[in-house]
């Protein structure tokens, strides 16, 4: 699944003042991120837990119709009720969807054997390839490397988004799965070291706001220029940390609002970002953009001086 190598954005769901879906803002966001390698629709960052089924598929349909660069689309479809996930996969209109992102069952804390059985049922039912999603901080259970290696043998499972934050686990996944099995980062700040051990990209939050800047980091890392990628990421670290200070996608929605895309509104039980966080994010964005302009200026100056 080379379509999902590189940088994908976990697209947020903009809301109006009345907490309905803000489709004009969503269109602006899709255009803002159109140069990324792919989109993830209805992931955790989309506040999928507070979207009803009608809204989820309406957003998917909107993304299919507003895809100017015809990029691949991954759709989040998972849960802790295996039978319900299977039913959705069998009945949903997934035309135009290139892959499913399916989260490890949350809250119920299944055994590793339960996780394997769940994903086998999901992969058997899915009309498109499945990407596993391991995010222990949200699900309460880690899908370990041995389990992932077992699941990698299923012909309809092509990779894993790993947000365990465990680089050793990342190495174990790479070393125990086929060469064409994709390890994708689920943590923006850990993507560079994960790429150094064999990961092929990231499903990103920060790319909603800084698609060009962050995808350049990832491209440099994938091309083996780790010193440059590390320097570039260093300029984004404080901003990335601030994005998660009050929860996700609280921070990223505040940052998007600062650049004119949507409002900071989130649905309960999340609450809107504080004024302090919005001010911080706006200041950091201004500094990042200023630094980028400086880099372009001095690069051009050096090029002219060399002539």
Distances (CA, A) of 198 to 118, 171, 191, 202: 27, 8, 10, 12
| Residue 197 known to bind ligand | no
> Is residue 38 annotated as a catalytic residue, yes or no?
no
Q: 220: which 2 tokens? A: 């440099």
In contact, 160 and 149? CB cutoff 8 Å: no
Catalytic residue among 133, 200, 214, 280: 133
Q: 120: which 2 tokens? A: 């086998």
d(CA 152, CA 275): 45
| Residue 45 known to bind ligand | yes
> Is residue 161 annotated as a catalytic residue, yes or no?
yes
Handedness of CA 80, 86, 88, 92 (dihedral sign): positive
Catalytic residue among 28, 56, 71, 161: 161
Of the candidates 83, 85, 159, the residue with the CA atom closest to the CA atom of residue 126: 85
Non-local CB neighbours of 241 within 8 Å, separated by 6+ positions? 189
- The residues carrying an active-site annotation are 133, 161
Q: Which residues are annotated as a binding site?
A: 45, 203
Q: Which residues are annotated as a binding site for pyruvate?
A: 45, 203
């Amino acid at each position: 699944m080379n379509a999902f190598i590189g940088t994908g954005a976990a697209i947020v769901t903009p809301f109006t003042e009345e907490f309905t879906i803000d489709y004009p803002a969503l269109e602006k966001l899709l255009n803002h991120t159109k140069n990324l390698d792919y989109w993830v629709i209805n992931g955790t960052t989309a506040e999928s837990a507070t979207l009803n089924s009608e809204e989820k598929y309406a957003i998917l349909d909107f993304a299919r119709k507003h895809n100017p660069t015809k990029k691949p689309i991954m759709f989040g479809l998972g849960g802790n009720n295996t039978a319900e996930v299977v039913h959705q996969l069998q009945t949903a209109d997934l035309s135009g969807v290139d892959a499913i992102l399916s989260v490890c069952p949350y809250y119920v804390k299944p055994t590793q054997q339960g996780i394997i059985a769940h994903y086998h049922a999901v992969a058997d039912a899915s009309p498109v390839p499945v990407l596993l999603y391991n995010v222990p901080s949200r699900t309460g259970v880690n899908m370990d490397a041995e389990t992932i290696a077992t699941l990698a043998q299923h012909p309809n499972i092509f990779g894993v988004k790993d947000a365990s934050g465990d680089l050793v686990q990342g190495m174990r996944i790479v070393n125990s799965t086929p060469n064409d099995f994709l390890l994708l980062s689920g943590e923006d700040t850990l993507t560079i070291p994960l790429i150094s051990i064999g990961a092929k990209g990231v499903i990103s939050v920060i790319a909603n706001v800084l698609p060009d800047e962050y995808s350049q980091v990832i491209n440099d890392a994938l091309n083996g220029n780790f010193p440059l990628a590390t320097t570039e990421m260093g300029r984004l670290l404080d901003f990335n940390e601030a994005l998660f200070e009050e929860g996700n996608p609280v921070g990223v929605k505040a940052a998007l609002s600062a650049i004119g895309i949507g409002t900071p509104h989130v649905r309960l039980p999340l609450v809107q970002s504080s004024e302090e966080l919005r001010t911080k994010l706006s200041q950091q964005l201004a500094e990042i953009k200023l630094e980028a302009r400086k880099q372009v200026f001095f690069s051009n100056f050096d090029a002219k001086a060399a002539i």
